[in-house]
Structure 1
Amino acid sequence: MKSEEIARIAGVSRSTVSRVINNYPNVPEKTRERVMKIIREYHYEPNLSARVLAGKRTNTIGLFLYSIYDIKSPYRIYGNSFFAPFVDAFVDIGNSMGYYMLVHTIYNPQDCWRISQTFSQKRIDGGIIIGTEKSREIESILSKSTNPLVVMDYNPAEIEKTIGPKSKIAVINSDDEKGINSAVDYLVSLGHREIGMIMGRATTYSGLKRRESFMKRLEHHGLTMDVRYMIKGDFTGKTAIPEIENLISSRQLPTAMIASNDEMALATMETFKRHGIRVPEDVSIIGYDNAPASAIVKPSLTTVSIPFFEIAQKSMDMLSDLIESDKPRFMVYNSDVGLIVRESCTRNNS
């Protein structure tokens, strides 16, 4: 069925049907209701290709998951404690706002051109990029783009220096300085002075920010960072486990450790358990993310909670504003975080 037939049955012009479909305000309410009733009765669907050619919106958002690390792992995206909850949240929120969500994974920097291609093919109205490792390819896209984009986990100052005068970009991050500060402060309040860190990748904004915040907060408390306790983890348990094994072999353990995500914290707890090292009696541990598993392990994991759903909601709201705006805009938002105290930390009595 074509729009002309809907117009004939409703007794209106074809342009009126078009105005109803595109939700224009200058249509009498009774006319709108009559047209919409016929559209529902006949299961009419507008021709998307024709709408795109006419410059109409697709009501589709592109969700680009950028993961170029550990590409052989089957869990690098959908089993990941960072990506997986965001995908669920974005699809749920996007659908509730009336958007279709087109999910695309990028495992190689050379495939970043697909982001620009998806826009040039007019398949999406706006895009969200998650997991942005610092790379020339991403920066090139951001510098040239005039399309509505939300970027997560990237230094906003660097993006602002890169983008052009016609850019429509929003940057959203979690408040990692506050999160790490709260974790360090809590351990210090329990009497810990030798505190280590299992670090994320320095090629990500969150990995770098959490490490820098950790070192600054130790200094704030008059504590010295011990390089022996700064453990390479790269945000994966696979990388963290052999490094923790090396730490155990050295027979020199900190009294507490903060991991840059829950995956590494849980892997560390399991490794300690295999070696007879008790958590929290021997070593207290704090994670970061508040992944579902953190609440059900024994002992349950004290962790910094990232509000994934709230961040996704804010990202969609910001992107919707960029799509509606006819002017260039640059927006920055830091999401609040909070420490969730569970069972993996105790007072240091040594």
Structure 2
Amino acid sequence: MKIQEIAREAGVSPSTVSRVFSNHPNIRGEVREQVFAVARKYGYRPRLSSKQQNVVIVSPYKTVYPIRSYVEMVISELALALSARGFRIEMLPQDNLGQLERIRFCAAVSIGIDAEEFGDWEECFASPLVIVDRDAPAGTGEIYSVRSDEHQAMELGIGCLAAHGRRNIGTVIYGEAGTGNADLRREGALLALKRHKLPATARHVRFALAESYVEEVGKLLKLGIDGLFAPGGNAGILAAYALSLYNRRVPEEISLVTSERTMYSRYAISPQTTISQDYTAQAEAVADAIDSRLRGMPFPRRTVIPYKLIERDSVNLLA
């Protein structure tokens, strides 16, 4: 099918159809939807332009990631990876998603925002959307995801403690059930505990935010744990603080694995063994997805990047 035929059925000019497919900002929403509806009806997929080099990065609400260092690290690596390939970057906060229709861009990247927040993407845009730290929905649209492997991360942390002789491991996941990656992490932690034939009850894997963290660590200590795994958020600081309040020395009395926050993890007493997302690999995968789609090449709907284990001094080997 040709652009002229789409224009005829949509009741607009061919130049308007071209502007819709190139994300021209001066197009009314109803015209945009009308053109895409005709294109979908006939299975027409517009060719993406490699001339347009603007990539919009959509940053999440602070309530999604109260620990901003994560978002800043992701954006920093994305900026390096995308600029190295000649893309220009435009930042857009999640609050202003409505502004997307007024911006010319070749691709969009969102951080920690569910695909549902973007509505019916293909009804409005021909450009690819790459979602970081969430899953792309099933289907054949221009929505892709790049995320870290949460189950593998839980295995890394718990496996490290188990390999050092810990036989009663407690996990405090920073976050709340039903939000972000908290449920995935809980599921992965329970699987890892079972895999290592360790106690794997609901009491051994808990959720906590800053205000309840000390209390939840205390509940785990009452279970007689000899290892604590604290993934997510700023859990490294909170876990160290909680253990100090309970007079537990790390690693002499209890071993500790947390999530990497370099400016704290490296200089804590003791320096903390951590799990860390591979931000560089994640950013390169995002750039690969955009590059491939703009060249008309296929790209996997979902890309999963493994975590890394950074070993320091907060885990010791039991005699």
Report which structure shows greater RCO (CA 8 Å, sep ≥6).
2
Q: How many residues align?
A: 272
1:332 equivalent in structure 2: 302
1:124 maps to which residue? 105
Task: Report what 1:180 is aligned to.
Answer: 154
Match of 1:33 in 2: none
Note the 1:22-33 alignment, pairs <5 A: none
Q: CA deviation at 1:86?
A: 0.8
2:251 is aligned to: 280
State the alpha-carbon separation in 2 of the partners of residues 212 and 59 from structure 1.
Answer: 40
Kindly provide the amino acid, as one letter, of the partner of residue 168 in structure 2.
E
- Distance in 2 (alpha carbons) for counterparts of 1:143 and 1:279: 52
Determine the structure 1 residue equivalent to 2:316. 346
Alpha-carbon spacing, 1:149–1:180, altered in 2? closer, same or farther (3 Å): same
Matches within 5 A, 1:87-106: 87-106=75-94
Shift of 1:243: 3.3
Identify if the C-alpha distance between structure 1 residues 121 and 197 changes in structure 2 by more than 3 Å, giving closer, same or farther.
same
The change in CA–CA distance for 1:253 and 1:103 in structure 2 (over 3 A counts) is farther
Taking only the aligned residue pairs, the percentage that are identical comes to 17
1:240 to partner: Cα distance: 5.0
* Cα 1:288–1:245 shift into 2, 3 Å: closer
Q: Which amino acid in structure 1 is aligned with residue 306 of structure 2?
A: D
Q: Secondary structure at the match of 1:277?
A: coil
Residue segments in structure 2 that go unaligned for 5+ positions in a row: 1-23, 27-48
Rounded to whole Å, the distance in 2 between the matches of 1:94 and 1:312 is 8
SS across alignment from 1:92? helix
- Deviation of 1:215 after TM superposition, in Å, equals 0.5
Instruction: Answer yes or no: is 1:147 the counterpart of 2:131.
Output: no
* Equivalence for 2:195: 220
SS in 2 for 1:347: coil
Instruction: Give yes or no for contact 1:168–1:328 (8 Å, CA) kept in 2.
Output: no
Q: How much does 1:128 deviate?
A: 0.6
Say if 1:262 and 1:294, in contact at 8 Å, map to a contact too.
no
The structure-2 alpha-carbon separation of the partners of 1:319 and 1:227, relative to structure 1 and needing over 3 Å to count, comes to same
Q: Which has the larger radius of gyration?
A: 1
Letter in 2 for 1:304: I
Distance apart, 1:293 and its partner CA: 2.3
Contact 2:218 2:246 in 1 (8 A): no
Do the aligned residues in 2 keep the contact of 1:193 with 1:223 (CA within 8 Å)? Answer: yes
The counterpart of 1:195, out of the listed 169, 178, 181, is 169
How far apart, CA to CA, are the structure 2 residues paired with 1:56 and 1:219? 49
Q: Which amino acid aligns with 2:309?
A: L
**TM-score w.r.t. length of structure 1:** 0.68
CA RMSD across the alignment? 3.0
Does 2:56 align with 1:62? yes
The letter for the 2-side match of 1:104 is L
Following the alignment from structure 2 to structure 1, what is the Cα–Cα distance between the partners of residues 153 and 214?
A: 26
Q: Which residue of 2 aligns with 1:12?
A: none
Counterpart residue identity of residue 83, structure 2: N
For residues 317 and 252 of structure 2, the distance between their equivalents in structure 1, rounded to whole angstroms, comes to 8
SS for the counterpart of 1:224 is: coil
Give distance in 2, aligned partners of 1:123 and 1:292. 37
Structure 1 residue 188: Cα displacement: 1.4
Give the aligned partner of residue 230 of structure 1.
Answer: 205
